[in-house]
Structure 1
Amino acid sequence: MMHQPPEWVLDGSERLTLDGFLEAFGRAWARTERRFLKLECWQSYREADGVRSQEAFQAGDAVRARRLLSEEAMGDQPLRDEVRSRNLEFTRVRLLSYPLTDYLRYEMINYEVRCGLGEHIEFFAPPAPVENYFDFLLFDSHSALVHDYGPGPIGYQVGGWLVRRPKTLDALADIAGDVRTRGERLRPLQGVPDAYRA
């Protein structure tokens, strides 16, 4: 199975439904004082039905997809404002494996839009096969949320786990740190085709 969290991560965790995951996110976010880190490793995700930007991209209209992604990103402006006002370190660490999937070619437009709005996204080829990693969110050192995207090969979130054990939280921080120090730093946004930048 791809991108599944190992048992040591889930040991002592709380299993969450998708709604429970969102509620736990809100509680953890409110307690966060310093750092929020998101590790993203799946090379393809299945978005919720009706994501117009992804539908436009799949239909071959990258220019429309970019316009819709810009509109979607503006909906997150209150979050960016809050990150600034609370002086939080907010980082997305994105693992990439080449050749890029269709999904990631679409996401590269999204990442370019969001980086242009001030979001901090780092891209890495990890030091181990990308399938060995799993998605999680780390809130300071008080909690983490680990995504459950099912058995793959395309990630579709069905819930997750809330992790609070200090030893596990330290290990998750070490995973992200290892990727950021031993992985190969990539600059894929420099390769976004001009046709997608309209």
Structure 2
Amino acid sequence: MHQPPAWALEGARRLTLEGFQRAFGEAWKRVDRDFLKVECWQSYQEADGVRSQQAYQQGRLDLARGLLREEAQGDQPLYDEVNERKLAFTRLRLISFPLTGYLRYELINYAIRRELGENIEFVTPPSPVTEYFDFLLFDQHTALIHDYGPGPVGHQVGGWVTHTAGPLARLADLAAELRAHLRPWPDGGEVEPTA
């Protein structure tokens, strides 16, 4: 489920979670034009103690929204940098229906982050969502590919970094193919949380 295919890992280097974060910082410094984040899991396991998610799961939507706004404000320097550097900053979010409780929670977050300047595009892919995998593409010089392990919920355990031309081109092509299936903003953000 959501495992990267062999072609994506050709020439890639395995990373711990800490190594993934370091590689992100290094690649981010080199971005000149485009940063693309592809997300496909329908539920992710957030870090322990994410208060906004806890509030949402308790049905406290106003509190969840306020906490999500605080969390997003913590990323304001990133959005300021994106604007200053005139970067395209896009989240390509794959969805399937019915929406999971996690995605309904994230829709509140996405609305806030869109206000801060993040471009969020929703895709209903032609194949089952489970056939895709999460990755970050920095221009076409670096890709970070997430590893969420074998579980049913995305909980990142590390990943891979690649600078190899073939996989980078195929990842860019995959993103372009997915963008051919863009859909309007999904309805269903402000509903009661469910399991």
Q: TM-score per shorter chain, which class?
A: over 0.9
Query: Distance between the aligned counterparts of 2:99 and 2:36, measured in 1?
Result: 23
**Alignment pair present for 1:68 and 2:56:** no
Specify the code of the residue in structure 1 equivalent to 2:46.
E
Cα pair 2:121 2:182 within 8 Å, conserved? no
Aligned counterpart, 1:187 = 185
Normalising to structure 1: TM-score of the pair?
0.94
Query: Distance between the aligned counterparts of 1:105 and 1:35, measured in 2?
Result: 27
Specify the code of the residue in structure 2 equivalent to 1:94.
R
Normalising to structure 2: TM-score of the pair?
0.95
| Cα deviation, residue 20, structure 1 | 0.2
The C-alpha deviation readout for 1:102-156, integer Å capped at 9, x for no partner, is 1111101101111122211001101211111000000011010000001121000
Query: Distance between the aligned counterparts of 2:35 and 2:116, measured in 1?
Result: 18
Q: Secondary structure at the match of 1:187?
A: coil
Specify the code of the residue in structure 1 equivalent to 2:166.
K
Aligned counterpart, 2:175 = 176
Aligned counterpart, 1:25 = 24
> Which runs of 5 or more residues in structure 1 are unaligned?
none
Query: Distance between the aligned counterparts of 1:194 and 1:97, measured in 2?
Result: 17
- Would the alpha carbon gap of residues 120 and 70 (structure 1) be closer, same or farther in structure 2, given more than 3 Å must change? same
Q: Within 5 Å, give how 1:1-198 maps onto structure 2.
A: 2-181=1-180, 183-188=181-186, 190-193=187-190
Residue identity over aligned pairs, in percent, reads: 62
| Cα deviation, residue 184, structure 1 | 4.3
Q: Secondary structure at the match of 2:41?
A: coil
Q: Secondary structure at the match of 2:3?
A: coil
| Cα deviation, residue 195, structure 1 | 8.5
Cα pair 2:104 2:191 within 8 Å, conserved? no
The C-alpha deviation readout for 1:51-95, integer Å capped at 9, x for no partner, is 000010111111100000000000010000000111111100000
Query: Distance between the aligned counterparts of 1:195 and 1:67, measured in 2?
Result: 16
Query: Distance between the aligned counterparts of 2:137 and 2:126, measured in 1?
Result: 20
Cα pair 1:127 1:184 within 8 Å, conserved? no
Specify the code of the residue in structure 2 equivalent to 1:4.
Q
> Which runs of 5 or more residues in structure 2 are unaligned?
none
Q: CA RMSD in A?
A: 1.4
- Alignment coverage as a number of residue pairs: 193
Cα pair 1:36 1:137 within 8 Å, conserved? yes
